[in-house]
Amino acid sequence: MSRYGSALGATLAGIANRFSTARRLPGLAPEHRVDGQTWLVTGATSGLGLAIARQLAERGAEVVMAARREAGEALTQVASAGGPAPRRLDLDLARLASVRAAAERLAEDGVRLDGVVLNAGMVAQRSRLTDDGLDEMTQVNFLGHFLLMQDILRSGVLPTGRAPAARVVVVSSESHRSAEALDPATLTAAREYGARQSVAEYGRTKLMVTTFAQALARRLHDGDRLQVAVHALCPGAVDTNIAREAPSWSQPVLKGVFRAFFRAPEAAAEPALYLACHPDLSRRTGVYLHLMQEKAPSALATDHAAQDALWSAAGAAVARP
């Protein structure tokens, strides 16, 4: 079994990664700013998403904080970072109608984005179907973001062909390497799993996410012209509430381990900010960072046939009935 295929394995891998001495990219310089830019961040009201939103604001961005829950305190935190006043966008990735409505709201308001951070995600402890009839973890982690990107690209909310290019930053996970090859024919099928299999299922959804990022990068690179720069990253193990569905008896232990050994969201946001703000990354596409190390994604994620098959299956899954 892959080290990412169980909760214990994933936890130990996360701890090991935190203390890795592998060579890393230099961080952002103070002059690497995004003044005058507008960025959308999903899952922006807590954890890693909030840290990303706050740090984008510190570097001058107007942040659209997309989330399904109220954002009062989070909005206050981002507003205090010194950038333009942030705005909240209601977005529930577990409801395709909510995703469409969010994209329509942006278009109606005349929003033009300079970048998007697809950050929201979950680890479900058991299989559940959404009201759309899709596996919840698959929909929240992948299909909802897939639909959002289709809609904002189609409407021009995220413009293509600009110089410098707009950017998409996709938060993935090294756990994508643990997943077996995807079968697009079963993408929308009900998934039967429980707590023991949830981490492996999470890795499966992150293979979808990483494959999607690579496919989007390829589709938005028109010959020598870069339409939109698309990058992905694994932030490492982060002290967030992503394990909120773990059994109640395990919560105190998990919280203690997370707090002691995992990175705080403010530190874990570094690779996402690097991909969003470094000027060189508007001239490249398809970059994958693990922490602050540039790596190649798994061979499954970079296979063009697999990318095209996933794209077709996802398009069918989110199509209007």
d(CA 20, CA 18): 6
Q: Parallel, antiparallel, or unpaired for β 166-171 and 221-222?
A: unpaired
Contact 65, 89 (CB under 8 A): yes
pLDDT tens figures, 11-35: 445 445 555 556 689 999 999 999 9
pLDDT tens figures, 180-213: 999 988 887 778 888 788 889 999 999 999 999 9
- For the chain, what is the mean pLDDT? 89
pLDDT tens figures, 24-75: 899 999 999 999 999 999 999 999 999 999 999 999 999 999 998 787 899 9
Domains located in the chain, CATH noted: 7-18+32-318 (3.40.50.720)
* Total-model pTM: 0.88
Residue 168 CB burial class (10 angstroms; 0-12, 13-18, ≥19): buried
- Structure confidence at residue 141 (pLDDT): 98
Residue 92, both tokens? 């529930």
Q: Parallel, antiparallel, or unpaired for β 228-234 and 87-90?
A: unpaired
Residue 202 falls in the annotated catalytic set: yes
Q: Is the pLDDT of residue 88 over 90?
A: yes
Helix (H) or strand (E) holding 137: helix 136-138
Q: Please choose, from the candidates 187, 216, 257, 243, the residue with its C-alpha nearest in 3D space to the C-alpha of residue 118.
A: 216
The pLDDT of 87-104, averaged and rounded, is 98
Residue of 4, 202, 274, 288 marked catalytic: 202
Contact 100, 124 (CB under 8 A): no
CA 173 to chain centre: 9
Residue 160, both tokens? 């293509």
